[in-house]
Amino acid sequence: MGLLFRFRNHHTVKKIIRHQYIYFMLFPAVLLIFVFQYLPLVGWLMAFKDYKPGFSLWSAEWIGFHQFYVFFFQSSDYIYLIRNTLIMNILSTTVSLFVSLIFALLINEIRVKFFVKTVQTITFFPFFISWVIIYSLMNALFAQESGLINQLLVSWHVIDEGINLLGGKQYAWGMIVAMDVWKGLGYNSIIFIASISAIPVDQYEAAEIDGAGRFKKMRYVTVPNLMPTLIVLLIINSGYVFSSDISKYLLFMNSLNWETMEVLDMYIYNRGLKLFNFPYATAVEIVKSCVSITLIIGVNQLSKKLTGKAIF
């Protein structure tokens, strides 16, 4: 037995030594991630304790699962929140990624370099505009009476009365998804454009020898080469389906469209974060982290089975 143990040990040590340079390369990343990401997780204790800023977390009294109870109990009747969150997040992510992929494909087909550069740079622009400004822009375009589009449509007699895009609950999902796609197009397509550059030229040459035309090359060479990136991005984003960008909803949600616009994070923000109820906020963070990690593990496994691609 002892011999076996020593042998095993010896084998492991050998394995480690063989890859010493890999460990060397991993070390700074592991250290930094540990310090900046895992160390502060000690703060999760806050959710179980009666913590007050200014006092030590260690000496605070244990209160158990009270905050979790509050969260689940109070928000249990808000099915519409979960519905809105999931629909908007899933649609936004998938549509954004697919549109960006197609955009990357199409821009790759343009041979005038100057034009390519211009289009790429300009499509990047909306990414930098804050939601406050987008709201004012949307108002200039779509406000029920003074919006440009509505005024034009009314003056052309397409419609009799302006469409209340910003206030109509039937438009909420479409509007959010469209804005996300528009805002993220340039940014999201960058990674696809970079991946296209990685496709070896010889694959195209081989396809040409087989008599493939332009579309066939796109379909059988470019698209399959982009799939790993697309899948990885879909997997990563699947962990975020319950998280929303509050700043967007703070502006676009109003008393007319809340039924379809209000999301889970908005609710949590109003009940906990805005009021600096730190233990409650931490409890919500823990729940969300657990859900996200479960989701990501599941999706990752599923993807491994279906496509053979995974992120870990």
Among 89, 92, 100, 123, the residue binding other proteins under the rule CB under 8 A is 123
Pick the closer one to other proteins by CB: 66 or 91: 66
The answer to whether 263 contacts other proteins (rule: CB under 8 A) is no
Q: What is the DSSP string of 41-75?
A: GGGGGGGGB---TTS-TTTSPB-TTHHHHHHHHHH
Question: Which residue has tokens 């007699």?
Answer: 157
DSSP state of 160: S
Q: State the Cα–Cα distance between residues 15 and 8, nearest whole angstrom.
A: 11
Cβ 157 to other proteins shortest distance, Å: 17
Q: State the Cα–Cα distance between residues 265 and 244, nearest whole angstrom.
A: 6
Look up residue 264 and give its two tokens. Answer: 């889970």
Q: Are 183 and 201 in contact (CB under 8 A)?
A: no
**Which positions from 6 to 45 touch other proteins by CB under 8 A, shown as an x/- string?**
------x--xx--x-xxxxxx-xxx-xx-xxxxxxxxxx-
Among 148, 159, 206, 302, the residue binding other proteins under the rule CB under 8 A is 148
| Binding region for other proteins (CB under 8 A) out of 79-87, 90-98, 141-149, 169-177 | 141-149
Pick the closer one to other proteins by CB: 177 or 185: 185
Look up residue 106 and give its two tokens. Answer: 């199409």
Site for other proteins in 70-99 (CB under 8 A): 70, 74
The answer to whether 302 contacts other proteins (rule: CB under 8 A) is no
Among 96, 171, 221, 239, the residue binding other proteins under the rule CB under 8 A is 239
Q: State the Cα–Cα distance between residues 169 and 167, nearest whole angstrom.
A: 6
Cβ 63 to other proteins shortest distance, Å: 12
Pick the closer one to other proteins by CB: 219 or 271: 271
The answer to whether 155 contacts other proteins (rule: CB under 8 A) is no
Output the CA–CA distances (angstroms, integers) from residue 132 to 135, 138, 258, in the order listed. Answer: 5, 10, 18
Site for other proteins in 206-225 (CB under 8 A): 213-215, 225
Among 194, 206, 210, 307, the residue binding other proteins under the rule CB under 8 A is 194
Q: Which amino acid is at 52?
A: K
Q: How far is CA 90 from the centre of its chain?
A: 9
